[in-house]
A and B are shown apart, each in its own frame.
Chain A
């Protein structure tokens, strides 16, 4: 995209193609796991109890003020995903 002499937006095209693939049900197990984390805690990666200790030891609150600790925020985050059909899409394509 930065170098294309015809100004083709390569990244944008890849996003579109990947979105089509997902809609058609083509998605790796590893990527499905990331989507599961998003639906459960609003993050791509899990947050462990062990990390709470690491945070406390350096003088940070055990839990950051994000969706992992904020129940209202997580409910909103999940509702937004559901309104977009993300939960159904992640179960196997076709919103």
Chain B
């Protein structure tokens, strides 16, 4: 009985903490949403500021550019990171420290400094396309995606799974796609979301390398109209959130149903 009451009181404390956190999280969100709906005064509300967004030139083009850059960044990131981290856990254990140190550098080295270097050091054929941003985004997403995958694989008997699958005649590609990936699916999703979220909202590199993407466009357009700027900010945050929430929710239903039963 003591155990149960302990558990309940712990839960109440945690729930209270989370509710307080949610309050402070949503307070500015709600405040900004209300502000963005204002029409000429604090008491009149309409969607005028949202309509204003779509009337601005460059909305569609810049959103398109950002989607393109994001898609390439996600594909590149998973293509490089999933096989690499898998190999590190299966047979490259002695290189794990090295890769861990190397992959954290992009987070430790400030993006502003990276942009300063990229501006002079990247080959010119890359400099001429906005897709150079995708490559840079893979670099700055790497600390997060490496860690997400590494944590997902740690403590899992990957060697046993791989040996079993290989003994049954599976190719390495098949092992990677049908054994490893499902086994670490939450981590793969986490790595994917981080890259998507980071690429969708990345401002520093785009701005300093003088590319026009959705975030830099928002920043420019915002100079003209504070209500419109707020509407844009609220809109972009909520749509990014909806997108990612959809991904998490529908993407991982299968694997997580087993966890629910635990």
> Are the chains A and B members of one assembly?
no
Interface positions of B (Cβ within 8 A of A): none
Chain A contacts to B: CB under 8 angstroms: none
